[in-house]
Structure 1
């Protein structure tokens, strides 16, 4: 683990329990809220719980990992805290780098190319919600190859969805409110729209893929934060939007209605405090979850049972994202809460 001074310098974006969050971020007001705050894994009352996370998972079945290796190392001193993954054909990936405010491409051979770098906002972005530091978070790639990313700056006119242009000059496509913290970005190709989680606002935004004004798609209580970050990672799967809630330690499923609206959220997994991102393995609703706080990659079975597949001994350091492509799983480590070696790792999926 990094010491307290280093954590303050890096302004980590992930929950570590209310008391540690307060110390890490210098938010003294959070300390006063500890006694009154509900447990971080509590589920909002209006939300139905369809699955829990049994203590003893079934190890006889489920996806395993093999041939785990580091594909690329990043420069933590330069702020390259790897945060998110967008898959490209041929085995390359696009990654958002938080503190460097960059979007980079990692080729199949591990070569790293910077695609875009966002400027510091006037004043340095100290008004960025909760964290006080601007950063690039979620990334997405359209079917036509256009790369989009999220920038959270605490200022209007900069916070929102941006497009990477061939010139390297990014273009603002969808502005978002200055008090929001856009975190995960997904393209809903069926409805030609973006979906964006707002971690501090506890909601999911939607906006036309062509660009324009954003509106709230869901503000279900299951997305709400509990002192730090609520809705974080997000995927579209089986007619629904799935989102992880870092503070609540849950994965929730929100059905998409016939008109594209949002239904009522149901909790599909619990006891995942500090969850950042996740992806489906291809076995129904089996999930690989990146747990930033605990530096581990967890398999969540279809019934909610959990099993740790990789931990610190396996190279996890502040695990931030996971993306599955065929029989491969890409995993990013931001090294923002533990360690000093942010990486992109690659593993083969062995389904049984």
Structure 2
């Protein structure tokens, strides 16, 4: 997620997700059957879907950035509020100026971990119990940072957070405590103005023995190997030229991803060799997509409509017959 202050009215931002609409080409298969809006949200109330983590039953847990809420949406579109992050009296969040619930990750037992950016001591990782409840801050991150995407490595009980402003991947144990600057480097940093918008490391996933990170300003998808001692290996650039990349999701066991390109109103299929093709555009209903979730043949994309004239935040769902990369390729 990123936001450009006062670009349109008082709020302009970057974050969200959107899926696939009728007539879209399938990825490695026929057209997408029956893509549809599962749920709609109220932009005026700050209900801007920012990030997503799926439950085993196919329901979606979403952060609503400026409402500071986490909600669950089932496949019929029924919404249930799981938690509300505490209000902050005088937020001074870098880039956006407002307090925002951003990334979300789910443990196998149903516990949710959410990043909260406020510009205050409340900035950090917050834990929400299975089924919802009172959120508890378990990791405090620098107030002058912008903790954006979050990923959870269940195997080694480690949380990873992409800090868009500080150009850092933070790690912390699942129970919380003192964070570690796990990975840093030019590849993770934002570009200075006017080249960039101050948004570096953004989306983040743990996949195939590595932590993968997108850099919005640098238009790149990065892979950081996890060494045997759990330290970070050398940062590898896996794809370039991904204009306005936000968050992303792997399509299967392989290294192919679906990437949300927020300002281009596109979702791109990015192959392991770095080549890409656009598979969804604004003509098919995308409105500033910022993240993607994949479960089997189902693809979810929430949309926050941060930059569009018509504010229609929503969650869309589509089924693909086959997604490239679901094998080992």
How is 1:145-164 mapped onto 2 (pairs within 5 angstroms)? 145-156=110-121, 158-164=122-128
Q: Which residue of 1 aligns with 2:144?
A: 179
Where structure 1 has 5 or more consecutive residues not aligned to the other structure, the ranges are: 15-58
Structure 1 segments (4+ residues) deviating >3 Å: 59-65
Q: 2: CA distance between counterparts of 1:329 and 1:167? A: 24
From 229, 237, 252, give the equivalent of 1:267: 237
Q: Which residue of 1 aligns with 2:18?
A: none
CA shift, 1:9, in A, is 2.1
Contact 1:11 1:133 in 2 (8 A): no
Contact 1:104 1:113 in 2 (8 A): yes
Distance 1:141 1:273, change over 3 A: same
Distance 1:267 1:153, change over 3 A: same
Q: Which residue of 2 aligns with 1:141?
A: 106
Q: 2: CA distance between counterparts of 1:94 and 1:154? A: 25
Distance 1:256 1:168, change over 3 A: same
Distance 1:312 1:241, change over 3 A: same
Q: Which residue of 1 aligns with 2:13?
A: 12
Q: Which residue of 1 aligns with 2:318?
A: 347
The superposition leaves residues 12-52 of structure 1 with CA deviations (integer Å, 9 ceiling, x where unpaired) of: 136xxxxxxxxxxxxxxxxxxxxxxxxxxxxxxxxxxxxxx
Contact 1:7 1:336 in 2 (8 A): no
Contact 2:66 2:100 in 1 (8 A): yes
The superposition leaves residues 68-106 of structure 1 with CA deviations (integer Å, 9 ceiling, x where unpaired) of: 211111111111111100010111010011111111111
Contact 1:229 1:246 in 2 (8 A): yes
Q: 2: CA distance between counterparts of 1:317 and 1:350? A: 24
The more displaced of 332-341 and 255-264 is 332-341
Q: Which residue of 2 aligns with 1:245?
A: 215
How is 1:252-331 mapped onto 2 (pairs within 5 angstroms)? 252-282=222-252, 284-331=254-301
TM-score by length of 2: 0.87
RMSD of Structure 2 on Structure 1 (CA): 2.0
CA shift, 1:63, in A, is 6.2
Distance 1:232 1:5, change over 3 A: closer
How is 1:49-68 mapped onto 2 (pairs within 5 angstroms)? 62=28, 66-67=32-33, 68=35
How is 1:70-85 mapped onto 2 (pairs within 5 angstroms)? 70-85=37-52
Q: Which residue of 2 aligns with 1:234?
A: 204
What's the secondary structure of 1:206's corresponding residue?
Answer: strand
The superposition leaves residues 206-240 of structure 1 with CA deviations (integer Å, 9 ceiling, x where unpaired) of: 00101111110000221111131000011111111
CA shift, 1:119, in A, is 2.8
Where structure 2 has 5 or more consecutive residues not aligned to the other structure, the ranges are: 16-24, 193-197, 325-329
2:302 is aligned with 1:332: yes
